[in-house]
Structure 1
Amino acid sequence: MVIAKRGLVLGATAAVLTTVAVTGAGIHLSSQAFFRDSPKELVDEVWQIVDRNYVDGTFNQVDWQKVRNEYLSRNYTSKEEAYKAIREMLKKLDDPYTRFMDPEEFKSMQIDTSGELTGVGIQLSQDEDSKKLVVIAPIEGTPAAKAGVLAKDIILKIDGKSTDGMDVNDAVSLIRGPVGTEVTLTVMRNNQQKIFKLKRDRIEIHPVRYSRTQDIPGGVGYIRLNQFSANAAGEMRAAIQALEKQGVSGYVLDLRSNPGGLLYASIDIARMWLKDGGIVSTVDRQGVSDRQKANNRQLTNKPLVVLVDGGSASASEILSGALQDNQRAVLVGTKTFGKGLVQSVRGLGDGSGLAVTIAKYFTPSGRDINHAGIVPDVTIELNDAQRQELSRNREEIGTKADPQYAKGLEALQQQIAKHGRSASATR
């Protein structure tokens, strides 16, 4: 089965929306009637895909052949029984990112993120050690973000139901629902419980917003990138070109609370900032490395500061890591999330879908950031009061009232001065 490059998703997480971006994922067009009659064949197809593609040849120390024998020795009278068996089978890998989606979940996942979404606007992950459900990041402008849900919040209850032992898919099913209905989340933050009553809504997401500010002489091009969706690269290109025409002196690229998305969106965007140098290497279980490099299509060489935090994950870490390793940007903020895995997302014969972890990625210098994250060049933490203030008054994000942005301005001014001295020396 061929998977289009744009079907590769970085550290794929279950989005508590009706979609995450998987535009271009290959679809296996086997007969739906065949799988209705033979649900066991669906179980075997999932096993075969994992067997051929999973990133770890030991299957995380699981006897994968024994698993096949166990699950194919059963009789399945319905596709629902097959779905349950598949979820059980995949759970043995102990990998929250390799997951099965029923047809409704998969259809939701395929919706283009440039359209309207329905949900509360958070992306979830399952902590590999504690198995707790953790918010990677709220999507900006959504009900969750407006209510004050933050990256790293641990979801304890959904409408009063404990999440102990609950997998991400089950949590997503409980949180999603019709527009206008409510869901109550009980979260743990800094050893304190907080309760959020969220109203589900339709959400239109544009991944990029930008502005020119007069915070330093000559002006700053401020660009906020919320997620690496199918249209992120196009919107980023338009933003840089517009700001270049306005003659800004330098840029602040804000990747805070950006949970990631499509692999090739991050590569396309990196090429807009880099003239040459490496961007990322992905390595599969055979040790085959696919190295992506800049291609002399840089849109600007002006000084750049990148803002990151604990909600900056996967594709955000590829972009920020590439810019840091190539000494193209100064990173300001706090350590990133630490998600260095790539998934392929593909359709199955009955309309269901499967996400499989197929590779790890490394920054140009060879850093494996999975779990470790990327440490910024300039560290500045926000205290709880500052976080809450920015959550309540989101118009202050990317202004001097935003402490991390303010620190980024200081770093940018230093880079502009250095850039100016360098330019003078070459004349």
Structure 2
Amino acid sequence: MFNQELDSNPAPQDQQSPDQHSAWVHQNSTYGSPQPPQQMTDSKCFWKVLLAVLLTAVICITFTFAGTYIFFRSRETRAAAARNSQNDLGIVLDSDQTQLPTEGKNDPGATDESSTPSSKNDKETFGLTFERTPENTEALDKLAQIWQLLQDFYYQDYTDAEMIALMSEGLINNMGSRYTFYLSPEQRQQDKEGMSGEYSGIGAIVQMTDEGAYIITRLVDDAPAMQAGLLPGDVFVAVGDKQVKDYKGVESLASAVRGKEGTRIKIEIYRPSTDENLTFEVERKKITTANLSYKMLDNKIGYIYVAEFTGHVAENFEKALKDLLQRDMRGLVIDMRNNGGGLADECIKMLDYILDAHVVSVIKGRMNGEMIEEKWETEDGVLVPKDMPISVVLNEYSASASELFSGALQDLGRAKVVGVQSFGKGVGTRTWELTDGSAVQITNFEYFLPQGENIQDKGITPDFVVELPESVKNKQISQLTLKEDTQLSKAIELVAK
């Protein structure tokens, strides 16, 4: 339709004789009237010739302008018809509007106040408005062509609403950050349940690598995954009949693994330690995760394992510190291995109990269309004595808030870091819930540690690099003996001095 030729050839017209303007002088009068004198005839011929030339010129000019007008008007009419088509995308270029409306809580840039009846089908339309620029015009023209081709030729039928929904999901999922994605209402609900520490699933904590692999980093003690024989380090191959390459992020995979309590799910994994694929059928059960556990080790060394920065973890951290201090703790080991992060507020509150008032991070990002820079600071609520030695243990699956926590302590000279290079997530996200219960998570800022470094794709470099023996890398951390756990042994050694 966009390349249709315009049929502008005029209909055939009667042809005039080349000398029709002077033909009468050659005719004999039927009444026998005498012919006019030659001089008079020549004079009349001159004026008639001149008049004919002028009329011909006027007619030619008129037809030229009329044809041009019809041609361009036809193009405008066809473009307008395309815009007014009920199957067309309701996106409007507005030369007067230079910025998007910001009133709508969940759909900035969308407006229906300017809805007007379509001149073609008398149906109300609305759309997004953009500044009229050559770039926007070209991009929207391309989108309109794709839209129309899909509506005309795709082998399955989609409504406008369904196609707009697909566009929304495609837009958010293709912004270039793997931490920016769309959550369906079901996924959003499961996400909130996970952050609360209670959900129905199998009890396997999963992270996605840079290569797109989904690796089990931790198992909830005595949960179905552990009972079925899954191990840390196992790599997901398929969930049910769906290959993992078809999942768009950890939340999408987690949504498939979780489900109604008592139902079963088939999971295929690849186990690197034995170089084999294995299939498990696991029953889903109610999972209650503890975000923190602690104990007193020999020589009055306090040990706190922080599994994730979910709700109330700072409160639990405070309780653990107070209990250990009452039991005469003399050194502290904080274990953040396999901690994938979580709530930044909880992280800063935990630092409050260890640090004096300090700037622990500077964030730079965007909020409401404006670039922002903000300092995150601890308050003076220290519980741990300033002279008490502290060590933090990290591994390759320690990410995000756990890196902010350990990096701040390292930069400010308050703790030594032991283990291996951490994951390297130096950006933060915010999640907005939409009106239908779905949500979008958006990479919103990057954070910088006290010495000014952003650790995105780099991670935290330990003060003491210590690897676990290959023979125990697939073991649950909680199941390692102190002899097997070379990383924890080094951390204890540092604070026992």
Query: TM-score scaled by structure 1?
Result: 0.73
The separation in 1 between residues aligned to 2:410 and 2:270, in whole angstroms, is: 34
CA distance in 2, matches of 1:188, 1:160: 19
**Which of 244, 254, 264 lines up with 1:172 in the alignment?**
254
Query: Is residue 106 from structure 1 mapped to residue 188 from structure 2 by the alignment?
Result: yes
1:315 aligns with 2:395: no
Q: For CA contacts below 8 A with separation 6 or more, give which structure has more relative contact order.
A: 1
Paired with 2:471 and 2:279, the residues of 1 have a C-alpha distance of 18
User: Does the CA contact (< 8 Å) of 1:126 and 1:167 recur in 2?
Assistant: no
Deviation readout 1:283-327 (Å, 9 max, x if unpaired): 104653211122221111221111110111101000000011111
Aligned counterparts of 2:179 and 2:424: Cα–Cα separation in 1: 14
Write out aligned runs for 1:117-132 (5 A). 117-128=199-210, 130=211, 132=212
Contact kept? 2:301, 2:329, Cα under 8 Å: yes
Q: Which runs of 5+ in 2 are unaligned?
A: 1-103, 116-125, 152-157
Matches for 1:19-418 after TM superposition, within 5 Å: 66=139, 70=143, 77=159, 80-111=162-193, 113-128=195-210, 130=211, 132-135=212-215, 137-141=217-221, 142-144=223-225, 147-150=229-232, 153-159=234-240, 161-168=242-249, 169-180=251-262, 181-187=264-270, 189=272, 192-195=275-278, 197=280, 198-214=282-298, 216=299, 219-285=300-366, 288-301=372-385, 302-388=388-474, 390-391=475-476, 394-396=478-480, 399-414=482-497
In the TM superposition, residue 191 of structure 1 has moved relative to its aligned partner by: 9.2
- In 1, Cα distance between the equivalents of 2:447 and 2:483? 35
Q: Which moved more, 1:74-83 or 1:183-192?
A: 74-83
Q: 1:125 to 1:225 in 2, by over 3 A?
A: closer
Q: After TM superposition, give the deviation of residue 268 of structure 1 in Å.
A: 0.8
Match for 1:70: what amino acid?
L
Structure 1: distance between partners of 2:344 and 2:141: 31
SS in 2 for 1:84: helix
In structure 2, C-alpha distance between the alignment counterparts of 1:121 and 1:90, rounded to whole Å: 29
- Matches of 2:337 and 2:383, distance apart in 1: 22
Q: Judge conservation of contact 2:197–2:288 (CA < 8 Å) in 1.
A: yes
Gap change, CA 1:223 and 1:317, over 3 Å in 2: same
Equivalent in the alignment of 2:5: none
| Alpha-carbon spacing, 1:205–1:124, altered in 2? closer, same or farther (3 Å) | closer
For residues 244-263 of structure 1, the C-alpha deviation after alignment (integer angstroms, 9 at most, x for no partner) is 11111111111011111011
Maintained 8 Å contact 1:28/1:346: no
Q: SS state of the match for residue 288, structure 1? A: strand
Structure 2 distance, partners of 1:44, 1:191, is 56
Amino acid at match of 2:466: I
Q: Is the 8 A contact 1:28 1:349 kept in 2?
A: no
Q: Calculate the aligned-residue CA RMSD, in Å.
A: 3.5
Q: Distance in 2 between matches of 1:68 and 1:282?
A: 38
- Which amino acid is 1:277 matched to? H
Q: Percent of aligned pairs with the same residue?
A: 24
User: Following TM superposition, by how much is the alpha carbon of 1:109 offset from its aligned partner in structure 2, in angstroms?
Assistant: 1.9
Deviations 1:162-197 (A, max 9, x none): 323531254334322233413313236379344252
Give me the TM-score of the superposition, normalised by structure 2: 0.64
Unmatched runs of 5 consecutive residues or more in structure 1 = 1-26, 49-61, 415-427
* Count of matched residue pairs: 356
Shift of 1:63: 8.7
- Compared with structure 1, are the counterparts of its residues 235 and 67 closer, same or farther at alpha carbon in structure 2 (3 Å cutoff)? farther
For residues 349-397 of structure 1, the C-alpha deviation after alignment (integer angstroms, 9 at most, x for no partner) is 1221111111111111111111101111111111331123x42x83446
- Structure 1 distance, partners of 2:181, 2:461, is 30
